[in-house]
Amino acid sequence: MKVKSIAVLGLQWGDEGKGKVIDFLSDQCDAVARFGGGANAGHTIVVNGDKFILKLVPSGILHEGKLCFIGAGVACDPEVLQNEISELEARGISTKGRIFIDFGAHLVLPIHKVSDGFRDAGRGKGAIDTTKRGIGPTYADKSSRVGLRVADIFDGNTLETKIGYVIDTHRNNLGDRGTDESIVNASRLAQNLRSYEPLFREIVSDVGPEILRLLANGKRVLFEGAQGALLDLDYGTYPYVTSSHTTIGGIFIGLGIPPSSLGTAIGVVKAYMTRVGSGPFPTEINGKLADSLREKGREYGSVTGRPRRVGWLDLANLRRVININGTDKLAITKLDVLDELDEIPVCESYEVDGAKVSDVPSNHPDFCKAKPVYSKIKGWKQSTAGMNKIDRLPKNARAYLDYISEKTGVPIWLISTGYSREDTIFVDADPFSS
Ligand code: IMP
């Protein structure tokens, strides 16, 4: 019997609008699990006009009774988690007995955030422009085997020594914060971490077996992706990536479950593209048109407020990450942002040093030089905002969507035409079929 689970993964540079898709699917699932990333993510969800931005707690929390898992692959900032839970409670959402975090999830300490900022600034023009949430240094410590995990909070004897290793690792990356006691005093930091012990004692868990048990009992589980495929540590536009695996393999490593526990993989794609932070973006546009798309799409980072760079859909890149993820269905978001355009360029292939290249150049310097080769699709010049029936879509909007599906070989399951849950067209009623 096929497992009833579904993964929602971003197929661009994050900010594809996964929050809304995840929110919708959470309603149909019994549990939602985050497998990677940390508080660099910000899933924006609008419920009855109320806006929620969730950074660590899976979006399922907004649906009564759903269980929420945070896997070992997540970098957990305890302060952010505590604040998020308190805010949810204050807004009337009960979290008791519904949130679980793996013993092995690594902890983001204040020193990681300072080190993140210092190291990125030190790259000068090559800065990655990270979110400064301590993500890179936390995952680096994990790989170097000096990182602190949730389980360490319960071990009163060794906590301070382990914090000492972390401080030693980052001592030269702190700039003028190098003597700040709140950053480098191990006993103070240990005391601070111990203050989270009651929180973690209540929610700590061995997440993998819990998820497998749910699936074995026929329950539906949603794997909630963060960021997007082009920010994957190995398969994104390295080094302008995040430090976790945002593609499909991250689910299995990050939750400790086998590939057979995944049913359907849904890829979320914005009808155009955005990127926040530095790095190559062949289809980027600038000027008035870019500004108007940015305003219409409200393209400002939900965590940092930074304006997002905008550009046209890159089908060559999309085909590549669809293959990496084994994407079964697409969710296309923000179609309405393109409503006023006369025509919409779509990148089919590239030109590198005068030669036509149909696949994404795997060599970073070549990708930086890649010039997009565009096809132009006729615009529809009509509002699609808030549409929720496929047969109401203008002919050319339909043609644009069909084109994406045809060129990628993946059917479209959902089209989003606005921020609210209601502004959604379901092309295929059952997201769990594949
Ligand atoms: P970091 O994840 O903070 O280390 O940032 C590395 C790169 O990933 C930067 O370019 C960030 O802007 C980008 N990034 C990280 N998280 C997100 C996200 O949730 N949405 C969009 N970009 C992100």
List per-block mean pLDDT (blocks of 10 residues) for the chain, which spans 434 residues. 90 94 92 97 80 92 95 98 96 95 98 97 95 97 98 93 97 92 95 96 98 97 96 95 98 98 97 96 97 96 87 97 98 98 97 92 87 97 96 97 97 95 89 78
Return the ligand 1 atom nearest residue 15 CA: 20
Nearest CA to ligand 1 atom 16: 40
The pTM of the whole model exceeds 0.85: yes
Helical (H) or strand (E) element with 124: none
| 365 CA → ligand 1 middle, Å | 21
Instruction: Tell me which of 22, 40, 128, 310 to substitute to probe ligand 1's pocket, judged by most ligand atoms within 8 Å of the beta carbon.
Output: 40
pLDDT for 434: 66
Ligand 1 pocket at CB < 6 A = 13-15, 40-41, 128-131, 133, 135-136, 227, 231, 240, 242-243, 276-277
Rounded CA gap, 433 and 414, in Å?
13
Helical (H) or strand (E) element with 160: helix 159-170
| 135 CA → ligand 1 middle, Å | 9
Instruction: Please confirm whether the linkage preceding 198 is cis (ω < 30° from 0).
Output: no
Nearest CA to ligand 1 atom 8: 242
pLDDT for 1: 59
Q: Which residues are catalytic?
A: 15, 43
Neighbour-count burial of 208, counting CB atoms closer than 10 A to its CB (0-12 exposed, 13-18 middle, 19+ buried): buried
pLDDT for 293: 97
Nearest CA to ligand 1 atom 5: 130
| 241 CA → ligand 1 middle, Å | 7
Return the ligand 1 atom nearest residue 278 CA: 10
Which stretches of 50-126 are assigned E, i.e. beta strand?
50-54, 67-70, 75-76, 99-102, 106-107
Cβ(324)–Cβ(318) under 8 Å?
Answer: no
Rounded CA gap, 382 and 352, in Å?
36
Cβ(18)–Cβ(10) under 8 Å?
Answer: yes
pLDDT for 362: 80
